[in-house]
Each structure stands twice: as C-alpha cells, then as structure tokens.
Chains A and B, each alone.
Chain A
Amino acid sequence: MRKLIVISSGILLLALAFVWWMNSRQPQPVELIPTLTNQPEYCLTCHADLPEISASHPVATFGCVSCHGGERLALNADLAHSTMRGGKNPSDLTVVETSCGGGNCHSGNEAENRDHIQRVMTSIQSTYAGAISSIRYTFGAQKDLAAHFGVNAVTDEHTQTGITSLNAFDAAADANPMMQKFGENCLTCHINAVPREGEAFARQTGCAACHSTEKHKLTTAIPYSQCNACHNRGNYDLRTMTFVERTDHPTSRLQSYYQPIAQFTRCEYTLECIDCHTRSEGMGNGDIHANKKDIQYIQCKTCHGTPTELPLTKTLTDPNDVAFTLAFLNPVVNLKLGDTILVTEKGESLWNTRVLSDGTYAMTGKATKQYFTFRPVMGSKCTQTGEDQSSAYCHTCHAVER
C-alpha cells in the first residue's frame, strides 16, 4: 500500500512539473479593460504588436472585441477567433452594422452625420446598380436603363430619387449566358466583393475597402492609389464579358488614369480624388441612385465658378458645422469659426478650401497636405458660357498632354 502511495505521489509530482513546464511556455495573459465596455479581454496577449487603428478608435477605449467580436476571455487562438465578425475585417458589409453601427457610432441619425452605414449600403459603390442595369439593358434583359437590381437588395423609404428599392441581382440565375459571365467576371469592383488577385487590386471589403490603406489602420486621408484598386485598373470587354486588366506600367500620376482617350487638367491628376469629390459622392447620400452620374456632381466650376459667377462660399458660424468634424478627423487645416470656405451646389462643405483676402482660393490636400492656390474663372480670359462648364468643355483649353 505504502509503495502505491509513493508511486502515485511521484507520478503526481511529474505531472505537476509537466504542467508547470507547459504553462511556462504559454504567453502570460495581458488583460485590457476598455473604458467603453468595462469588460476584460485578453486579445493583447497575442496582438500587442498591432498599431493603434486610428486616433478615433484607441484600443484603451474600444478594446478589440467591440469591433472584431471574438471570445474576449479565451487564450486559445482558435477559440478566441471562433466568433470574430468578418474574419480580419469587421467592416465587411455583411457584418458592419454589428461591428461599426450603433447610434453613437456609424449608424446614427442623419442630422448628426452618423448615418455612414445607411449611406454606404445604398450607395453606388455598394449596389453597383448602374453597371448591372447597363449590362442587362445591353443584353436585352431589361427594356430601359432604370435601376432594378443591386448586388444586394436594398430599400429606401424616404427616397429623393424615386427609387425605393433594388432587388438582389443573381447573375447565375439569369438565362442569358452573357449575364452569367458578367456575374462571374465583372462584379469585382463593388465594395462588397472580394477583389481580383494581384497587388494592383489589393484592398479589403466594406468600409476598409477605402479607409484602410495599411494593416490595421483606418484613415480619412485616402490617397488616389487606394481609389485605383478599383478605378483605373482596366476595362470591361463586352464582347467576351471579361475584365481586361491593363498591361501597361504607368510611371507617372497622369498615366495612372486608364481611360486612353480621356483628357485631364493638371488639377485632376495633381490633386487626390478626395480633394474634390465629396463624402456624399463617395459614400452615398442615403438615397438609392441609378448610376454613378446621378450621385457624382462635382465639376470644375464647383471651385472655379464661371465667367459670370463666382463659386459658392460660406462663412462658418456654427461650431457644430460638419466641416469642423471633417477637419477634426483629418487635421490638415486649422479650421476656425469665421473662416470662409467653398461649398458645392448641394451645400456640402469643401472644408479643405479657403477664400483668401485677395479673392483667390486655397486648397490643402487631404492626403498630401500640399497647399494649392487657384483663381476664379470670373475676370479671366475664359469665354465659356455658364452652361458649358462640364470638364469636357474645360479640357478644350486646359487639358494636359499625355
């Protein structure tokens, strides 16, 4: 009996030594209690090397689980990751409402400019409605160019465009083989889609498609190269219904624009896309639109005016003006009450511009921080009429040779 006890104790000691040895090889748990949730999580045990994702989302406040999901108390990687939302990308549109939504975050009300998710869901970037209706019309699947389908079904009860809903487009169910090929080969640009393979197409999905330009980073200072992950990467060939990747290797910013016959002015390629194009153009305005042209409205005259009219301006008198919020999130300018800035015909603040005392204007690049000055058309030698102010007319005189 005594011999049995001694042997049992020996086995127990060996087992304890083994457990101690195994335990010493495990990382020591790193606890974080985010102020937003007040609940401990142990994600930093393995992920302490990740950079802060943005100044607006500090890990000490949000932790990891608020956005990513996952098992906050687990120390085993498989278990910890088992309930994550969207894999590594919680902003994927299939999970974005849970990850990024909420009244205090990105699906609040329009008046507080917190309706980001609602706007993106109905935006052309997400529905791809224009491309779908255009292709369906071209191949006889519908009689006009009206938008009936989106990548996903969406509704808009308060529409200003007359389009109250889009049905989910199912290319595979279409009898027309060209539509099936369209579904297989050409639906890779909308922000729900997994991008095509290749470094030139590298982006994530959802919000991160535009706002994440490097690992575990979110930004509102989006460079044109991020836009180029979808734009300027090639063209559709409607004869074969395939996407034909560009094969050239542009060496300059101007050459990066892929429309071979298109013309551009200097500002169109010197500035970043987001320097001119507004948040409603990029992320939608909450309404369902039939195609890109219905939402994209910025023209040369937005900033330069016409021979007979100066561009629209506004003096900032309300400290809660959204211009201050946007300038806070991307502090390339020190916007103050009393500053006069340019505004679009729809009233969107071009918050990175200033009206200077001599009647000219200044713009600071949102991604580059470059400082530009420019003049109004009024008072110049331009004789173009006010009605003929689309970029095609301006290019007649101001295009840059490519």
Chain B
Amino acid sequence: MTDVSRRDFLKLARDGFLYLSGALMLGGVMRFLDFDPNPAPQTIFELGPAANYPLGTKTPLTEIPALLIHADQGFIATSLTCTHLGCTVKNNADGFACACHGSHFDVNGKVTHGPAVQPLKKLSIEITKDDDLILYTE
C-alpha cells in the first residue's frame, strides 16, 4: 500500500471538494433548465403486445381514455372523451353515455342524444413489426 503524504491527501480532498461543488451546481442548473411546467399532453401511447388484446375483447384504456376493440376487421380505438365538454363517457350495452351532461352515443360513437353534437373520435392504431400496438390520439 502506497503511503499518501499529508500534502497529497489535502490536495485530493480540496480538489474533490471543488469538483463536488461544481457538479452539484451544474446539476442544479440543469434541473432548473430542464423543468417544463407546461408540458404538452401525451399523444402517443404504447399499448404492448397485440396478443394481450384477443379477438372479441373490449379493453378500456383509462389513462387515455379510450376503448380498444379487437373486432373481426382489426383493432378499433374509440376515444372516451365526450365531444361536448370533455368528460369521460362510459361504455354500456347501448353504446356510450356521458355522466356529466347526459349525452349518449351509439356503439359506433354516433350521437343519439345531446348536448354533444359531434361523434366520439376514432383514434389511430398502429401495429409494429414486433406485433406491438401503438395508439395515437392525434
């Protein structure tokens, strides 16, 4: 084991101290500059393997919110955001109902009862080469 002289130890400690304070300061500045108080909403959602959504299933995706349907013709995603004011609609036997203001939509998302006037939005689904699903809200 090599003996470290008192002078070298103090020099090492001093340099370490300087590097640490510099790194912390840099980290603080980076954190300050990196903080985005006004981030854009997420528009792309990775849903995982398509196999997780077997044929005939209807899967509510609460985070988006959307309903993913695996029908004979493929994957269909319907936004569960009411086109009136943006409440989340609930899927029922007749279609979709909004608990906020009473709008109703049929199973295809078409308005059957106001106050909403626009149909529920259809969302794009992409199947990757690895058979994963990606949903785009815009």
Contacts and interface: CB of A to CB of B under 8 A. Distances in A.
Given A12-B25, A324-B102, A6 B17 contact: yes
B67 to A, nearest CB: 15
Contacts of B87: 35, 58, 61
Interface stretch (A36-44, A338-346, A349-357): A36-44
Nearest to A13: B21
Interface string B99-114: 1111000000000011
Given A55-B99, A60-B88, A61-B86, 6 more contacts: A35-B87, A36-B86, A57-B100, A61-B85, A61-B100, A320-B114
Contacts, number: 68
A39 B38 CA distance: 7
A194 interface: no
Nearest to A56: B100
B99 A319 contact: no
B100 A319 contact: no
B101 A319 contact: no
Given A6-B18, A13-B20, A16-B25, A325 B85 contact: no
Interface of B: 14, 17-18, 20-22, 24-25, 28, 37-39, 41, 81, 84-88, 99-102, 113-115
A34 interface: yes
16 contacts: A9-B18, A16-B28, A35-B81, A36-B85, A36-B86, A38-B41, A40-B37, A40-B39, A56-B100, A61-B86, A61-B87, A61-B100, A62-B85, A112-B115, A324-B102, A325-B102
Interface string A1-44: 01001100110110010010000000001000111101110100
Given A39-B38, A55-B99, A56-B100, A104 B84 contact: yes
Contacts of A328: 101-102
B21 A9 contact: yes
Contacts of A29: 37
A29 B35 CA distance: 12
Contacts of A60: 88
Nearest to B18: A9
A325 B104 CA distance: 12
Contacts of A13: 17, 20-21, 24
Interface of A: 2, 5-6, 9-10, 12-13, 16, 19, 29, 33-36, 38-40, 42, 55-58, 60-62, 73, 104-105, 112, 319-320, 324-325, 328
A104 B114 CA distance: 11
Contacts of A324: 102
Contacts of B28: 16, 19
Contact of B86 (A12, A34, A55): A34
Contacts of B37: 29, 40, 42, 73
A55 B100 contact: yes
A73 B81 contact: no
A224 to B, nearest CB: 27
A16 B31 CA distance: 13
Contact of B113 (A5, A9, A73, A320): A320
A9 to B, nearest CB: 4
Contacts of B115: 104, 112
Q: What 3 pairs between A and B have smallest CB-CB spacing?
A: A35-B86, A9-B21, A36-B86
A38 B81 CA distance: 12
Contact of A5 (B18, B81, B101, B102): B18
Contacts of B85: 36, 61-62, 104-105
Nearest to B25: A12
B99 to A, nearest CB: 6
A343 B86 CA distance: 33
Nearest to B65: A35
A163 B88 CA distance: 44
B25 to A, nearest CB: 6
A2 B13 CA distance: 13
A12 B41 contact: no
Contacts of B18: 5-6, 9
Nearest to B37: A73
Contact of B88 (A10, A55, A61): A61
A397 to B, nearest CB: 42
A7 to B, nearest CB: 11
